[in-house]
Amino acid sequence: MLHPATPDDLDELAQFLRTADLTVAALAEPAVRLWLERDGADGPVRATTGFELGTDGRHALVRSVAVRPDLRGTGDGLRLARFALDRAADAGARHAWLFSRRSGGFWQKLGFERTTTDALAAALPDAHQVRLFRATGQLEREVAWRRPLTVLAR
């Protein structure tokens, strides 16, 4: 069962995300909302999901959607992504954005369309990943995706 990540979870969560080759920057920031699922009450992390709400409240950057490798293909990833999209919409976001170089097909199943990194950066200029990717020169190498949050694809 998903539950909100707490400060006590952050070290283990960061290690889980590193293993999945996902960005771990700014996990403790207030705008970043994360959830995790464990094996049992106190077992290891098995899945994570989250988003960062933009300063305007209308845009959300989906991030940290990951499942343990042995759980891939079970539908858990779609469930986690839908959860993050629903929570972002509940928080007032009307547009969801994300970076993904390898999983475009997965995100297209959820109604995402490819866009430019410039469009993402313009919508979410203060997002931690945007700032990090700009500072490191990685932004130009990323692939950006977006979708409206008015009606979620099921």
**In CATH, what number is assigned to the domain containing residue 47?**
3.40.630.30
Grouped pLDDT means (10 residues each) for the chain, 154 residues: 93 93 88 93 91 96 91 86 96 96 90 97 96 93 94 48
153 occurs within a structural domain = no
Q: 140 to each of 15, 103, 116, 133, 143, how far by Cα in Å? A: 26, 17, 9, 8, 8
Check: CB of residue 7 under 8 Å from CB of residue 28. yes
CA distance 126 to 137: 16
8 occurs within a structural domain = yes
pTM comes to: 0.91
124 occurs within a structural domain = yes
138 occurs within a structural domain = yes
37 occurs within a structural domain = yes
pLDDT digits (tens, 9 = 90+) for 20-47: 888 888 998 989 999 999 988 788 999 9
Round to the nearest angstrom and report the end-to-end CA distance of the chain: 20
CA distance 20 to 87: 22
Q: The domain containing residue 116 runs over which residues?
A: 3-148
154 occurs within a structural domain = no
